[in-house]
Amino acid sequence: MIYSYGISMEGTYHVKNDIVCQDSHSIIKISDNIAVAAVADGLGSADYSDVASRLAADITTEYCKENLNQQGTVDEILATIKTSYSNALQAIEEKAKSENHDLEHYDTTLSLALLIDNTLYYGHSGDSGIVALTVDGTYEKVTEQQRDDDNRVFPLFFEDRWEFGLFEHKVCSVFLATDGMLEPLFPFLIKNEPVSIHVSLARYFMDNRSLNIDKDGEDSVKTRIEEFIKNIPDEQVNDDKTVVVLINTSIEPAIQPEVYYKEPDWVALKRKHDEEWKRLAYPHLFKNEKPEPETEQEPQQIENETDNIGDWQ
């Protein structure tokens, strides 16, 4: 049985500056074991991006619902998702034309997940993204953020940037989010660590052993997650916040070794990062250092297990 929850919340920056929420999401359960969901993030620089994000999320999920061939091949299913993207872009173009506005005022990202039992198909455009909890119990990034060298987002009308695929692993749960909620799962301090995702945070959002969505109900879980998101400090995220999760509760993920779930030692990681930065910025301060003798290294472990989730509690 697939359960779900979805939240789009106006960011504090938008509230303070009287800007509408430019995020949108849509979830459609096609059957007990099939669901499609999309998240879209209207770009802040575009005047009507909230309209575009709403059209993108609604049109793609509705098209997939109406046209999915459950017995189709991988190529046929991906073709359905791609056509849904084309239809969404066409609708946005027609909306801009009917309102006599330039298309650039309707910039939006769009990420879509189609979950059939434990198989994940996806579409992706922009800097929102998708994360999966595999049946092996690991949290895996499905998509990469699409930005240029100046950190500018490639929005939906960059058709040559669209990505469609079948995720290589079987999954229990899928997380979709706009960039404000996606990036905290991948803090820069652990980018090059053996475990590069903030597992305890991902687990809080995605693992039914934490959510109990089949017992507590979708509305209860949504309320609990919504309250958590409301309490995220401004210095962490002040942008609009969208999270969507699909969970197949009939498939329980395997348990990883205990070290996989431990909270990172953020203090030690920050110290390590600062030291590396100093060596790059001021190499002359370290030119007389003698290299340390080579020793056999023990496997790195993540220490300081806590019951909280980083700075977000």
Phi, psi of 98 (to 5 degrees): -65, -30
**CA nearest 122: which of 61, 204, 189?**
61
What pLDDT does residue 300 have? 39
- For residue 53 the two structure tokens come to 């994000």
- For residue 313 the two structure tokens come to 């509690």
What angle, 0 to 180 degrees and rounded to 10, lies between the N-to-C axes of helices 49-67 and 74-98? 140
Question: Would 294 be classed as within a structural domain?
Answer: no
State the DSSP code for 108: B
Which of the residues in the chain have pLDDT under 50?
A: 297-308, 313
Q: What is the pTM of this model?
A: 0.88
Question: Would 310 be classed as within a structural domain?
Answer: no
Q: Can you tell me the distance from the alpha carbon of 228 to that of 51, in angstroms, rounded to the nearest whole number?
A: 27
What's the Cα-to-Cα distance from 246 to each of 36, 117, 211, 274, rounded to whole Å? 8, 11, 12, 38
Give me the count of residues in the chain: 313
What CATH number does the domain containing 123 carry? 3.60.40.10
- The residues facing 173 across adjacent strands are 133, 247
Question: Would 296 be classed as within a structural domain?
Answer: no
Q: Which residue do the tokens 């401004």 mark?
A: 234
49-81 b/e with 16+ CB inside 10 Å = b? bbbbbbbbbbbbbbbbbeebeeeeeeeebbebb
- For residue 140 the two structure tokens come to 């895996």
Question: Would 280 be classed as within a structural domain?
Answer: no
Question: Would 104 be classed as within a structural domain?
Answer: yes
Q: Are 175 and 128 in contact (CB under 8 A)?
A: no
Q: Can you tell me the distance from the alpha carbon of 126 to that of 153, in angstroms, rounded to the nearest whole number?
A: 6
Q: Which domain holds residue 22?
A: 2-261
- The residues facing 41 across adjacent strands are 23
Question: Would 292 be classed as within a structural domain?
Answer: no
Question: Would 216 be classed as within a structural domain?
Answer: yes
3-class SS of residue 45: coil
Q: What is the helix (H) or strand (E) element at residue 124, kind and residue range?
A: strand 119-125
**Domain count along the chain:** 1
Q: Can you tell me the distance from the alpha carbon of 278 to that of 301, in angstroms, rounded to the nearest whole number?
A: 25
Q: Can you tell me the distance from the alpha carbon of 118 to that of 135, in angstroms, rounded to the nearest whole number?
A: 8
| Residues 6+ away with beta carbon under 8 Å from 306 | 263
Q: What is the pLDDT of residues 47-99, one digit of tens each?
A: 889 999 999 999 999 999 999 998 899 999 999 999 999 999 999 999 999 99
- For residue 286 the two structure tokens come to 């370290």
287-296 b/e with 16+ CB inside 10 Å = b? eeeeeeeeee
- For residue 11 the two structure tokens come to 């960011």
Q: Can you tell me the distance from the alpha carbon of 146 to that of 125, in angstroms, rounded to the nearest whole number?
A: 7
Question: Would 273 be classed as within a structural domain?
Answer: no
What's the Cα-to-Cα distance from 277 to each of 270, 271, 283, rounded to whole Å? 10, 10, 10
206-217 b/e with 16+ CB inside 10 Å = b? bbbeebebeeee
Q: Which residue do the tokens 């939240």 mark?
A: 7
